Structure 1
Amino acid sequence: MSKMKLAFTPVAQLKPDSENEIWKIKVRVVRMWRFQNGVRVKPGYVGGIDLILLDGKGDRIQACIRGKLISKFEDDLGEGKCCILMNFKLSPNLGNYRGTPHSFKIFFTWSTHVKKNCEEIPNDSLRFNCISFDDLLLQKHDEKVFVYVIGEIVGPCDLKEITVRNTPCKILNLQLKDYGDSIINCVFWVKYAEEIHSYVQSSSGGAIVLLCSLMRINIYNGKLTIQSGKASTKLFINSDIAEINEFEEKCCIYAIICALKIEVPWWYLGCPGCAKKVNPYLNPETEEIEMDKFSCDGCETIVCSIKTRYQVHCKVLDHTGTTSFVMFDKEVSQLIHKSAYELLEQQVLFNSGNEFPRELLALEGREFVFTVNKPETSKNYTPSTFYTNIPATGHHFSNSTETTLSLVNDVFEESNNSISASTESTSTPTKKRASTLGIEDCVPQLSSKKLKGDVSLLAEEDGQLSLTKSKLKVGHVTKDDCAKPSSTKQRKAANLIPKKEKN
């Protein structure tokens, strides 16, 4: 009699078949929990073990081990472990609450065989199949199937005790916010309520990101909430896992620019390749600074052309508080429709080098959607400043802008280095204020002893700065020359200035 080796069956293709009732699958156990049957059971009683199994293609199926079979298979299984499972029973996946949307469910039998310590399956990144809040709120998901969700805790987190079936139990209501501004209401029971409340109470501050596995959907009077299961749910609170790290690194915030940090330079000289800041090149052999070269630590090379770029530091405010953001070249250029080089040239041309540009001051009081990118930091360090870009404008807070603006003076009334936001219309030019740092302070200081020959000047074409030799002597251009543009280039630059700024 010939022998035939049993082939692997993808989880998605598992279904009862009269011709083939023996299957073999290779899966990872992504969730494993014990459950009790009945309402009144003895302490420590275990009715069975449920598992969520994930194959290499990302498909899931629920499995169940009941009664006396628990002791036979439990030691061969564990969360995160990969195994080969053979000769099991398939039954319809019924019930009001199901672990997966698969049409069938696996039941272990006495003849089932588990082969542990098998080759790893590269599917660990698929273990959490988090659903978007928008799909939840639009009720696109089967409400009988458990869901995975991830979000930041933003709502109240008060622990209460209620009586259910004559038994006191703990309950916790809170709200989760996703990458954007979608919010869902959540209810956690008993041990889950106590776990979250304990973490929040002991937290020293900062965002709390919560990932919940296998939560139940509840829709009452058309309103959706998600609730923890009796035993299926597992919580990850600010855990060091890829999904939470990714959520922390990038999220969207609706906020208003309430202050600009005018004590910090708003521009820098950047590498045309990596955009990082460049430094004057010091020739180690001659011990002289070469005016036509710059060193870039990002590219680890010497560059001969540079670009003026924005780096605008600001304070932003939403209904939860304030934080510091940095907006860079692309975002600021889109907002004020002027490159950093054009704005810097304008400042120098009209002798406004010691003043913070009014075009940037006009951003105060304006509301944006910020996409926040968390800088790379050590595990236990929380950065005080975040890098942002602005995907959209014109969105509004859940509370009114007027209410938000009324908080600004309280937040910044003691700040001497920032500019308080104005409640006036953003179309009205903000009064100019003198910066504590001028353009001269931003340019690298060069030793006069090392300078030889002609003075080098910066010139820019198509946004790229290059260094060219000039016969001009220091002091050749006077203040009057700057105030009265004569060349075509100067007159063109003068048109960028509001009329009342012209002399």
Structure 2
Amino acid sequence: MASSSAASELKLSFIADLNPEKDLWNMRARVVKKWRSKYWLDFILIDEKGVKIQAVLKQHLIPLFEHQLEEDNVVLISKFGVGTNTGPFKVIDHVYKINFYRCTTVQPAHGWEGVEYGFNFIPFPQIVSGVANQLLTVDVCYAQQFSDFIAGVPSTERVVAVILHGRVKPWKGELQVQTDKFATRIFLNQEINEINDLRRRFLLKFSETNASSSQIVLSSEIVYPLREEFVVACPRKHVDEITDTKTPTTCVVVATIKMIQEKHGWFYAGCRKCGKKVLSKQEFLEKYGDLTEEILKVPANGLICPKCKCECQSITTKFMVQVRVQDETGSVSFVLFDTHVARIVGVSATEVRERQVDENQTESFPHEMMRLLDKKLAFKIEVTDYNLKNDYYVYTVLKVCDDPDILAELTGAVGSGDEDVLSVTADSSVVVAEIHESLTPSGKRTSVEDESLNVGELSCTSKRSRKKASKFPE
């Protein structure tokens, strides 16, 4: 049964309603933290009212439910029990906890509009005044997470670290932020709505407090990585400019999805390990001709992952949707891949396929894809050598952004990659106008379906004049 219909049939309760007076309960929640103790698994769940509760999965039930209760999953949990939370690792200030039974069921919940993670941000006046010093003590596992992340970030880039379920304690006259060995979760430069809202408030506070100090205000812009990626680091182009591009480049296009080109399908079978499209043995040999000993051992009806260079033992369904997008200058075809589509339609490709199988509709185009239509987004796309050499006017989308502030800034800043655009650096005390050259990503994504996609009709007929940006967009 699809989870949407299941939710309508169940009488759902909120965490605040839970108590031991009733045997079985039904609830919708997000898994915000998960960790293993010696004989059980612990979870922290949050409902759409922002209330959290701890849940316990005993050892014999772990194989039944663990894979469904991954962090970030939104789930419908039915037929569970409620007991008093007297455990040794009580990390949530709630008198009760949730217990799973063999009769308990867990299934994905789609279209959830509830709280994401329930961040309760603690203000640090020292940071707002410009003194960015705050003592942070972390457990060894979190220290490794910090170290691994920082190692891959340029020294000039700001990192926004958000600590969920941390502890704030006085230490030598100052506040010390500490991590909990089990319950803490650290988000580093994550694009989560609640964190993006914090960034906006942070930037606004800087602007109000330091209106006379342009260096501090401009430096603060860097803490918003999504803005850095879509507004500062990449040139903005219109649809008609993409097809006129003569060199490989990466650029940002703001456009609206007007049509889904159904004839190209909506999914492919991917390697569960790396996500690459799997090929039959014959297809692999025709395309790559890599006759290694391991490939020769693959049976004739086996599937091979071209990235892992071995037989694929486990496959998964991945989104691959070709759409027609339009701006004021024309229209063009983009290819959206798995995570981008899933984020917009609110469901995974695997769940869509399972729904089709259950309803015996495997030959139809899924109705979930219609949620893509009329979405105005910022697309970060790649114009490759393949596009240029073959006059191939279908472009791979590297990332999408629906942040309203980013879209407003992009649509307000007129100009192309060949014109003077504005950038901000941490060392500048004034706005500096400079020319951004087209960027080529260090790791080019190879389209898994270059040979299978068609150009489609190209409509770029409305050329328009453009002005150079004369000031930093507000």
Q: Which structure has more helix as a fraction of its residues?
A: 2
Same fold (TM over 0.5): no
Smaller-chain TM-score bracket: 0.3 to 0.5
When the two structures are superposed, what TM-score results if normalisation uses the length of structure 2? 0.39
Answer 1 or 2: which has greater strand percent: 1
Which structure exhibits the higher relative contact order, with contacts defined as CA atoms closer than 8 Å and separated by 6 or more residues? 2
TM-score for both structures, normalised by structure 1: 0.37
Which has the higher Rg, Structure 1 or Structure 2?
Answer: 1
